[in-house]
Structure 1
Amino acid sequence: MKKYFITIILIIFYCSKFQGQNKNTDSLNVVTKKKFNYKSLIIPTSLIGYGIVGLESHSLLNLNYEVKEEITENIDNKITMDDFSQYSPFVTVYALNLAGIKGKNDFKDRTIIFGTAYLIMGATVNIIKHTGNVERPDGSSTNSFPSGHTATAFMGAEFLFQEYKYESIWYGISGYVVAAGTGFFRMYNNRHWLTDVAAGAGIGILSTKIAYWIHPWMKKVLFKKQENLNGAIFPFYNDNKIGFGMVVKF
């Protein structure tokens, strides 16, 4: 179980490190002076902690089976909407912007933040999946922990919340409702345990928070000269896999 803690601790450490460095830089951007809010870590780290503890806790493992039996008891047909819904929250950010509803950031900054969050989330999920050995409820493989679909959905939900929380909190709430539904259907379709979904949700939320915290540093160091940043998001279907791709022009 230590390897899971090491992965998460490293993420939080680098997040804190970058935030601390921002406080020592010049006044290029007022955002860099914003005080680090440790309280915002409570929910995502609690979800991740629940998932990790659940890997070895007999009571939480029993709860996994109880939830599985309760959810899958009367299933006749699988509903694979989670393959689509995982992308809905972050696609909504760009859709709202195209509709003329401006968010917190422009396309350039928003895309840098989104790309950073997706990389953090994807790397974390895949590292843990390939170093762990948790069998899926349907017995199809041993990479059940954590839920990648749920992580993607909650990453997008937090992204939607951060971009539009000053316009209307209901945008963020709707994103989280869709994300929660994605996690539910991962269990409904017998692909993940409750602990997988909880950890995935925590990783997704934390990935987006980290991306926003380190964005001033990313923008200053890596994208300082990139004044014009354009691109597009598009759906794709390949070998029975559905997803979204992004093309960015620097």
Structure 2
Amino acid sequence: MKTKHLIFILIWSLSTFSLSGQGSMEMETDTLEKRDLSGNQPSLAKKMIFPMALTGTALLINNSTYEKELQPRINKNLSTNIDDYTRFAPIAGMYLADGLGVQAENHWFDQTKNAAFSLLFTQLITTGLKVNIDKERPNGANNEALPSGHTSLAFASATVFYEEFKNTEPLLAYSGYTFALATAYLRMAKNKHWFSDVILGSAVGMAITKLVYHLDHLFAWNPFLKSERFVFTPSFGSGRSGFYLAIRF
């Protein structure tokens, strides 16, 4: 199991890091929603430093004595399902901020597109790793512990939120990670995951989302960009939540 574990993680890490050879890319701009602060993006290598550090940390502590001694201290045998919602809270917060008029990097359609790609690819890669790594959960439920799916989606969501508001509202941008960290903690407190599981999950979610935003100019199509007739806002009330698309006449 350990050999297969290392092979799959290293392949993922190297395939992601190899894209750094692209260097800096020219940012595409529009006059409606997107701000062009410097004209260039940081290289992908710089964007991947933290995810790669997290990946290395996960590999280092996976199945270690430290990890096995830590889990009983964190495990609270919680039965809450709030982590099913906190993993997507930053995405909901992004649309709420849009509805309140907070300036974001992208138009709502581009936000939705980037979020969809980030969450989809994060889910696919996380599921593939789970199946092939074959690590047992601390509660013994199955052998799909590494990486944590809830955590990977939570950090993907938080990174989408961060990318949208990092240049306009930096403090707000970082707030999404509080939900991601809470999700990671809850997965361990519920005895669903080990420490390395949530660390690798966070690395996957962040890396995939940063890659999506780095390459978003490749799928820049937006049919609503020049139209002010369409309004997309979140809707909350009566114990229900969702979104609605309105058309101004």
Per the shorter chain, which TM-score range? 0.7 to 0.9
Cross-structure match for 1:228: 224
Q: Note closer, same or farther for the CA distance 1:48–1:208 as it changes in structure 2 (3 Å cut).
A: same
CA distance in 2, matches of 1:128, 1:32: 36
Q: Note closer, same or farther for the CA distance 1:177–1:35 as it changes in structure 2 (3 Å cut).
A: closer
CA distance in 1, matches of 2:244, 2:133: 32
Assess if the C-alpha contact under 8 Å between 2:96 and 2:234 holds in 1. Answer: no
> 1:1-250 maps to which residues of 2 (within 5 A)?
1-13=6-18, 15-16=19-20, 19=22, 22=25, 29=29, 33-55=40-62, 61-72=64-75, 75=76, 77-219=78-220, 223=221, 226-228=222-224
Q: CA deviation at 1:9?
A: 2.0
Give the count of matched residue pairs. Answer: 224
Assess if the C-alpha contact under 8 Å between 2:17 and 2:45 holds in 1. Answer: no
Assess if the C-alpha contact under 8 Å between 1:32 and 1:216 holds in 2. Answer: no
Cross-structure match for 1:239: none
Q: Which has the higher helix share?
A: 1
**Counterpart amino acid of residue 54 in structure 2:** L
Q: CA deviation at 1:130?
A: 1.4
Assess if the C-alpha contact under 8 Å between 2:99 and 2:233 holds in 1. Answer: no
Q: Structure 2: 5+ residue runs without aligned partners? A: 1-5, 30-35
Q: CA deviation at 1:233?
A: 7.4
Assess if the C-alpha contact under 8 Å between 2:83 and 2:186 holds in 1. Answer: yes
The two structures have a TM-score, normalised by structure 2, of: 0.78
SS of 1:3's equivalent? helix
CA distance in 2, matches of 1:247, 1:118: 21
Q: Structure 1: 5+ residue runs without aligned partners? A: 236-243
The two structures have a TM-score, normalised by structure 1, of: 0.78
Q: Note closer, same or farther for the CA distance 1:11–1:234 as it changes in structure 2 (3 Å cut).
A: farther
Q: Note closer, same or farther for the CA distance 1:9–1:125 as it changes in structure 2 (3 Å cut).
A: same
Assess if the C-alpha contact under 8 Å between 1:162 and 1:172 holds in 2. Answer: yes
Q: Which stretch has the larger CA shift, 133-142 or 31-40?
A: 31-40
Q: Note closer, same or farther for the CA distance 1:218–1:141 as it changes in structure 2 (3 Å cut).
A: same
Q: CA deviation at 1:218?
A: 2.1
CA distance in 2, matches of 1:201, 1:78: 22
Identity over aligned pairs, percent: 24
After superposition, what is the alpha-carbon deviation per residue over 1:213-241, rounded to whole angstroms, capped at 9, x for unaligned? 0001222xxx3xx4237778799xxxxxx
Q: Note closer, same or farther for the CA distance 1:246–1:200 as it changes in structure 2 (3 Å cut).
A: farther
**Counterpart amino acid of residue 114 in structure 1:** A
CA distance in 1, matches of 2:122, 2:7: 19
Q: Which stretch has the larger CA shift, 209-218 or 112-121?
A: 112-121
RMSD: 2.9
Moved over 6 A (4+): 229-235, 244-248
CA distance in 2, matches of 1:130, 1:118: 18
